[in-house]
């Protein structure tokens, strides 16, 4: 598993793209992209872009891992 380059919540941007989601979770970019298309994942479509609000992402991580970032 890849190590996340982010060490704290404050370092994350307000909105995360697939690449950032992948880096935070320590997975491949393609896995981050696939995850953002999952039905229960808190992504938003803005025009042609798909992003995840930081607050919603952190809540999803806590709910799905039983832990905090």
Task: State the first-to-last Cα distance of the chain, in angstroms, to the nearest integer.
Answer: 16
Do residues 25 and 4 touch, judged by C-beta distance below 8 A? yes
So what's the pLDDT on residue 42?
A: 97
pLDDT of 10 over the 90 cut? no
Structure confidence by residue, pLDDT tens digits, 23-54: 988 899 999 999 999 999 999 999 999 999 99
Q: What percent of the chain has pLDDT over 90?
A: 67
5 domain-assigned: no
Number of domains in the chain: 1
38: domain CATH number is 1.10.10
Helices 29-36 and 18-25 meet at what angle, rounded to 10? 110
Q: Residue 8: what pLDDT?
A: 82
């Amino acid at each position: 598993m890849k190590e996340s380059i982010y060490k704290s919540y404050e370092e994350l941007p307000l909105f995360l793209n697939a690449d950032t989601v992948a880096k935070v979770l320590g997975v491949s970019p393609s896995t981050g992209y696939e995850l953002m298309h999952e039905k229960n994942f808190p992504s938003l479509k803005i025009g042609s872009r798909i992003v995840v609000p930081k607050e919603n992402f952190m809540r999803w991580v806590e709910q799905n891992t039983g832990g905090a970032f």
